[in-house]
Structures are given as C-alpha cells and as structure tokens.
Structure 1
Amino acid sequence: MDLIQIASSATLGLFFGMLLFLEIGRRIGLHHLVREGGLARGVSTAEGAVFALLGLLIAFTFSGAASRFEDRRHLITEEANAIGTAYLRLDLLPVTSQPELRTLFYDYTGLRAQIYHNARDMAAVQQRLDQSIRLQSQIWQHALIAARAPDAPAHAMMLLVPALNEMIDITTTRWMVTQNHPPLVIFLLLAFLSLMGSLLIGYEMAENPHRSWLHCVAFACIMSLCIYVIVDMEFPRLGFFTITAADQVLLDLQASMLPDLHK
C-alpha cells in the first residue's frame, strides 16, 4: 500500500471519526441538559480557540504544500534549461568529439523525463536514478577529455564545465525536494484538532432537539477533504494533483536534440 492509499484510508477514517465525535459530543451535551438543565459555560470560548488553531494550522500546511508543489514543477523547467545550456556548449568542443556526447545527452534527457514516472515503484525509480548517475559520469568524463584535446578552444573548459556542474547539481536538488515534507506530527495534530472540534460542535448541537445530518456530514466532509488535498499536493507523483505534465519540457528538449544525431 503506497502513501496516497494510506492517506485515502486515513482521510476516510477521519471523516467517520468526526461523525462519531460529533455524535459523542451531542450525547454528552444532552446528558448535561438533562442533569444540569443547560450546557456548561465556556464551551464556545474553547471551541473558538480550537478552531482558530486548526484554521491557522491548515493555512500554513496548505500554503507550504502548494509552495512545494510549485517548486517541484519549476525545478523540472530549471533542469531542462540546465541540460539545454550544457548541450548547446558542446558546440565549443572539437567536431569529432561531439557525436558521442550528443548521444549521451539524448539518452540522459529522456531518462530524466521518465525518472519519476510510476513513483509508486520506488525500486524502479532508484534504478533510473542510478542509471542517470552513470550517464552523468560518462558525460563528465567524455566532456573533460574533449575539452582538453589539442584542437579544443581554450575557453571550452571554462564554459562547459560550469554548465555541466549545474546540470548535475540540480538532480540532487530535485531529489531532496521530493523528500521534503512536513513532520508526521503536523498531520496527526490536524486530525486531533479536527476530532476535538467535532466533539465541541456536537456538544453545542445538543441544544437543538433535532439532529442535522446535513451539517454534520458537510462539516466532516469539508475538513477531511481539505486535509486530503494537503497530503495529495505533498506527493505530486502519486495522487490526483500531479506534475507529470511538466516533464513534457524535458521530452521536448530531447526531441530538439534528435536532428543533431543524424548529422
């Protein structure tokens, strides 16, 4: 079972848990009405504090998830730019050294476009990562040999090496960004506050002799769905909100290299 399936099950559990706590709170409230003749004072104050904290926590986690979602998408474009710049600078190398490097770049770009596809299979992702590292090593070694050739321009090394460095470094940046998520305790706190809020709302609903299932279900659905969307955006290769379409920029770059391979 992958993370999104776990999140889906947890969200469904939270939904029914909130309905249960709404009912528990209502029954506690009914018990107080019968025994005390009214509800306890200060419940509204406690309820306001809980929901203020819950709203603040949701706002921060949602904002962070959306920001990381966009960062991951923009990094794909940055990597395509880095690869494209390094590829263009192959023109500085001797003509005899270019065909092999262009082929390596073509294979490397295609691999980077596919590297995070089917992210549920982490073994396959790791295999593609290892393969991309091997291709990086080959590109680096061949480029250094070509830049040091007697017929290579003096500035070839100075211009090509920084571009290759940037192309290689951004792969580490992308990998680390995929691992960057809020601590688990944040999501546990969100679930806890949602349940406590449901308990307090249920308690106040005891003043109404008729149970409103519409309000109960709507509240539980909205809160659990909001938390699910946050989790879904944190893992943009697994859920409904994906950045897979952004990989097209790498595929387009690879396609632009194809004519050079047939020269």
Structure 2
Amino acid sequence: MSYTAFASLISLVLFFGMVALLEIGRRIGVRRRSIDPDGAQAGTGAVDGAVFALLGLLIAFTFSGAATRFDERRNLVVQEANDIGTAYLRLDLLPPGAQPALRDLFRRYVGSRLEAYRKLPDIAAAKAELAHSIKLQGEIWNQALAASQMNDAPPAATMLLLPALNQMIDITTTRTTATAMHPPVVIFVLLYGLALIAALLAGYGMSAAKARSWLHMIGFAASMALAVHVVIDIEYPRLGLIRVDTFDQVLVDVLESMK
C-alpha cells in the first residue's frame, strides 16, 4: 500500500471513529439525563475544556513542528545546490588537464543526488542511489586532492576548493538526517487518542438536544481528520500530497549549468 493510500485510510478511520464516538457519547448523555436530569452536566465543563485545550495545543505544536521541518528541508535543497555550484566553479583553480574528469564526476554526482530523492517512496532504491552518490563523493575528493597537489596547481586550489568540497559532502549528511527526523510515533498515537476522546465528550455534551445534529457531528469529525491528515502529510513531504519536490528544480538548474 502506498503512503498516500495509507494516510488517507487512517484519516478515514479517524473520521468514522469520531462520528461513532460522537453518537456513543450522545447516547450515554441521553441515558444519564434520563436518570439524573439535574446532575448530568455537573462538573463536565472543566473536563471538556481541559481535554479540548490539550487537543488544540497538541495539534498546534505538531503542525508548527512539521511546518518548521518542511521549511528546513526546502532550505537544505537550496543550500546543497549552492554548495555544489560553488565547488564546481572552483574547479577552475585546478590545472586544465585535471578539470574535465572532475567536471564529468560532478555531473554524474548531481544526477545521482536527484535520483536518490526521485526514487522515494521506494526506500531501498533511494538508499542504493544514496550509496552510489557517496561513492562518487569519494572519487571527487580523491581526484580533487590529487589535482590540487600537482606542481602547476596554484596554492589557492587547496585553500579554496577543498573546503568547498567538504561543505558539499557535509550537506548530504545534513539532508539525510533532516529527511529522517520526525516526532516519535507516540505523539501521533496521542493525537489520535485525544481526538477520539474529544469526540466522545462532545457527543455527551450534545445530548441536551432532542435530535442529533449531523451537520455538527460530521463537520467536527471531518475538521479533525483533515487537520491530522495535513499534519502527517507535511511531516513526510517526499511521500504524500504536500511535497518539496518542486525545490529540486534548483539542483536540476545546477546540473543544466554544468553542460
């Protein structure tokens, strides 16, 4: 099952679960009112307020964290493109005879970096392509180091090119770590659990009405399911509907500039 289908499925499960718990809560409230009309709502306001406040805070924090990581991942794509472009330009410092092979390696490297993320959500294929790009990093470093030590290489080649290559290599680790950085699963479990508990309490509070309001019940469940779905989708921007793939264009532009 694809990630999009899985995320949609659990969102639908949350929606129908909340609708069911709204109805269960309402029936519990109706039964309680038939037994104790005056005390059915006594003291429930504080509990309802605390649960809904906690749910609101949890949604706010998870959404804020997901949006922050989403922006960071986009910025890292741009940063990697800048690092690669800088290192590529500094190849001009090397002796002319050493440049063609390194420029070809750079083109292959940028292509590999693009393919590593294009192959998602196939994790195994993406990891294999990432390993290939790391191998190309080693070849670029070794050839650049050897070229910068040639007799006709200017001192600036070592001082300017090698630090740029080091930064280009480091950013790949940063991006890989950022891609794997997500909240613990227990946070999402807590979010789902609180949404279901809130639905039960909301249904209990709606028991004062003689007839159920399907508009409010479906609207509440749909709003919560949609909010949770968006949070999860932003958290995994290479797998869902909300994606950072458009920012890969900056790497495509860098590759085009090398031809």
Q: Does 1:133 align with 2:134?
A: yes
Paired position in structure 2 for 1:167: 168
2:35 corresponds to 1:35: yes
> What do you get for the CA RMSD once the two structures are aligned?
1.0
Asked if the contact 1:54/1:194 (under 8 Å) is kept, the reply is yes
Instruction: Say whether 1:190 aligns with 2:166.
Output: no
Report the 3-state secondary structure (helix = DSSP H, G, I; strand = E; otherwise coil) of the residue aligned with 1:155. helix
TM-superposed deviation, 1:209: 0.5
Partner of 2:83: 82
Counterpart AA for 2:21:
F
How far is 1:4 from its partner?
Answer: 3.9
Residue 2 of structure 1, CA deviation? 4.2
Q: Deviations over 1:145-203 (max 9, x none)?
A: 10000110012111111100000000000000011001111111111111111111101
Match of 1:17 in 2: 17
SS in 2 for 1:182: coil
More displaced, 4-13 or 49-58? Answer: 4-13
**What TM-score, normalized to structure 1?**
0.96
Mapped contact 2:3–2:240 kept (Cα < 8 A)? no
Contact 1:90/1:160 (8 A) holds in 2 = yes
- Report the Cα distance in structure 1 between the residues aligned to 2:113 and 2:4, rounded to whole angstroms: 24
- Determine the C-alpha separation between the residues in 2 that align with 1:165 and 1:41: 66
CA deviation profile, 1:86-123 (whole Å, cap 9, x unmatched): 00110000000000000101111122122211311111
Structure 1: how far apart are the matches of 2:143 and 2:2? 40
- Aligned equivalents of 1:37 and 1:156: distance in 2? 86
Code of the residue aligned with 2:246 in structure 1: it is A
How many residues are aligned here?
258
The residue aligned with 2:107 is: 106
1:3 is displaced (CA, Å) by 4.0
Question: 2:66 aligns to what?
Answer: 65
Contact between 2:106 and 2:140, CA under 8 Å: does it hold in 1? Answer: yes
Structure 1: gaps spanning 5 or more residues: 259-263
Structure 2 Cα separation of the partners of residues 123 and 230 of structure 1: 25
Q: Which residue of 1 aligns with 2:159?
A: 158
**Secondary structure at 2:163 match in 1:** helix
Give the equivalent residue in structure 2 for 1:261: none
Displacement of 1:206 in angstroms is: 0.7
Does the aligned pair in 2 maintain the 1:79–1:170 contact within 8 Å? yes
Rounded Cα–Cα distance in structure 2 between residues aligned with 1:62 and 1:20: 26
The one-letter amino acid of 2:258's match is M
Say whether the 8 Å CA contact 1:32–1:40 is kept in structure 2.
no
Separation in 2, partners of 1:60, 1:200: 22
